[in-house]
Amino acid sequence: MYGGQYNSMHGLHPSMGGVTPMMMGPSAYDDMTVREPYYPDIRRPRSAMSMTRPRRHSAVSAISHIPLPPPMDTYRRASSIHIKFKRRSSLMAGISLAEAQGYAKLSNNDYYTLHDLHADRRHTIFLKIRWAGYNSLTYEIPVEASYDDRINLQTLARRISRACVHYLQANRIPIPWDRVDLHHIEEISYGVWQPMLSSR
């Protein structure tokens, strides 16, 4: 299940505005750390000429340096954990993207560890966002942890929310982002997570 299954189309929210695509510059989504924080999952294959004679300062050559999500490894299986986002003292699971960016207090805020998320040595996970009828985008999400490797779920939710908002804007999906709820993330391959979204 991915975003859009419960989608009812609405007009674009006035506060969304335009977003600079990735090709126009790295400022469209600045919550990440190094290199391009997001990239399309559809890539152009390198031509034979580009492989035999690399050129310096080529804009196209930068594509080859984009980090790929880790491949599926038979010895490193994806977990069956669903990391749920639920407001403290709430009976209902899920928070809106607006609430996530508003530092909503979450249940089990320090329950999960870096090991649970299969973060890499840079303390980074990959977030693959999909919406029915649109191309997916994959984001690098840095994960902060305390001295005992426990993550801050509120910080993770905020960063996931920002990635989701950027995805909605970059794809010009006609739905107000503050009407989109984040229920949980689930691991689709080792270290690669997918958010479960729905619209109200």
pLDDT digit string, tens, across residues 63-98: 334 455 555 444 456 567 889 998 887 777 889 999
Question: 148 falls in which pLDDT band (50, 70, 90)?
Answer: confident
Please name the amino acid found at residue 23: M
**For residue 127, which of 38, 42, 67, 199 has the smallest C-alpha distance?**
38
Contact 125, 113 (CB under 8 A): no
Q: What is the pLDDT of residue 191?
A: 92
pTM of the model: 0.66
Task: Answer left, alpha or beta for residue 141, where phi above 0 means left and psi between -120 and 50 means alpha.
Answer: beta
Whole-angstrom distance, CA of residue 197 vs CA of residue 178: 12
Q: Has residue 137 got a pLDDT over 90?
A: yes
> Domain coordinates of the chain in residue numbers?
1-10+37-42+82-200
Whole-angstrom distance, CA of residue 27 vs CA of residue 55: 26
When mean pLDDT is compared across 57-71, 97-111, 132-146, the lowest value belongs to: 57-71
